[in-house]
Amino acid sequence: MTAGASPAPYLRLAGIRKDFGSFAALKGIDLDIAQGEFVCFLGPSGCGKTTLLRIIAGLEVQSAGRIELAGRDISRLPPAERDYGIVFQSYALFPNLSVADNVAYGLVNGKVDRQHRVERVRELLALVGLPGSEARFPAQLSGGQQQRIALARALATSPGLLLLDEPLSALDAIVRVKLRGEIRALQRQLGVTTVMVTHDQEEAFAVADRVVVMNQGSIEQVGTATTVYREPATPFVADFVGRINTLPATAGAEPGQLKIGERVFRSEHPSALAHAAGQDLRICLRPEDVVARPLPPGDPNVIEARVEKIDFMGPYCLVRVSSGALGEQALTVYLSLHFLTEARLEVGSFLPLRLLPERMRVYA
């Protein structure tokens, strides 16, 4: 490798396509994943994320494209010859085998001697927080404990790649949050390259080094959680990730001018600066980017809004407002419970709000 060159990716997907008859489930996926990286495939049901994971695992065969793992072409190798461990949504534990035998299943097939199997099982159970559970059976474990056993089994052979297929979706919310933190900590400790499929964006943002947002068989955006949330590359990403306000507008005569109804607003976001006057546009604005203070005097982005609905969310409220300045279009904003109490706001109240110009992202 030459000085300054980036290291070769540990996992490379090049032109991966999957056709089911006339339906293209994957439309030419290109993606490089670094060694030790934690990457989440995120998207709605049917977007192709699970199909892509299964192709990496060799459980589905791609219609076209190449897969490389640690510089080795594994595109046509059977699953047993690919260096990975996998955890399924359903855990897929053998109910008639003890915890020890479930964890050691891959080691038996790998012809590891009994003493080393016992030691490895003990080590893995300690690693996932279930020491001393060797003699128990899956039916005697909670859902979270079963998922830990499935994770231990996937790690038993010390694979170079760990694949997680919606591993937490069957668990209740409290267990899910706890276990995702444990999975992330374990991944960092072991340094194993990990790919997880999920439709839960909070989950993806909590664990991933990078998030791959997919839609209709294609990749819409790849980036850190912060980048994907704050700078969505496409209208789909903006709408799918988090809450978003979308306002129709037309480009004004000057760069950054946006006309909504009869009112001209100003955007300082780079996406708003290169449109022809009169062009139809869409403004996307997160709820937290519509603020109640500070309100600079004479700011063209300050509006008078009427409170239409208040949804209590604990420390903050999700507030629906409308404004004549926006042609009576509604906005969703976040306001703290303290602010609502101090300002004595209720349905029907009026308050000034500011649309942050630096956060008004525009799509043509």
DSSP sequence for 174-241: HHHHHHHHHHHHHHHHHT-EEEEEES-HHHHHHH-SEEEEEETTEEEEEE-HHHHHHS-SSHHHHHHS
Report the pLDDT value the prediction gives residue 91, as an integer from 0 to 100. 83
> Please, is 24 exposed, middle or buried when counting C-beta atoms within 10 Å of its C-beta (0-12, 13-18, 19+)?
middle
The string of pLDDT tens digits covering residues 288-314 is 999 998 888 889 999 999 999 999 999
The string of pLDDT tens digits covering residues 151-209 is 999 999 999 999 999 998 888 889 899 999 999 999 999 999 999 999 999 999 999 99
* Res 4 pLDDT > 60: no
Distance between CA atoms of 113 and 111, rounded to whole angstroms? Answer: 6
The 3-state DSSP class for residue 165 equals strand
